[in-house]
Amino acid sequence: MFYYNQLKILNQKKGDYGDMIVIDGVVGVGKSTLMEILEKNGYIAFKEPVTNNPILDKFYYDRERYSFPLQIYFLNERFKQIKKASQYPNSVLDRSIYGDVIFAKMLRDNGEMSEVEFQIYLDLFGNMMEHLKAPKLLVYLEISTDEAIKRIKKRGREYEQVVEREYWERLNQNYRDYFEQYSFSPVLKINVDQIDFENNLEDREYVLNLIEKSLHTE
Is 43 one of the annotated binding-site residues? no
DSSP letter string, 24-52? E-STTSSHHHHHHHHHHTTPEEE--TTTT
Q: Is 177 a catalytic residue?
A: no
Is 25 one of the annotated binding-site residues? yes
Is 202 one of the annotated binding-site residues? no
Annotated catalytic residue within 19, 24, 57, 94: 94
Is 153 one of the annotated binding-site residues? yes
Cα separation, 113 vs 107, whole angstroms = 5
Is 15 one of the annotated binding-site residues? no
Cβ neighbourhood burial of 212 (10 Å; 0-12, 13-18, 19+): exposed
Is 162 one of the annotated binding-site residues? no
Is 78 one of the annotated binding-site residues? no
Cα separation, 11 vs 58, whole angstroms = 35
Q: Which of 60, 35, 14, 3 is nearest to 176 (CA)?
A: 3
Is 100 one of the annotated binding-site residues? yes
Is 33 one of the annotated binding-site residues? yes
DSSP state letter for 111? T
Cβ neighbourhood burial of 187 (10 Å; 0-12, 13-18, 19+): middle
Cα separation, 93 vs 43, whole angstroms = 10
Is 198 one of the annotated binding-site residues? no
Is 116 one of the annotated binding-site residues? no
Q: Which residues are annotated as catalytic?
A: 94
Q: Binding site membership for ATP: which residues?
A: 25-33, 151-155
Q: Binding site membership: which residues?
A: 25-33, 48, 60, 71, 95, 100, 151-155, 160
Q: Binding site membership for substrate: which residues?
A: 48, 60, 71, 95, 100, 160
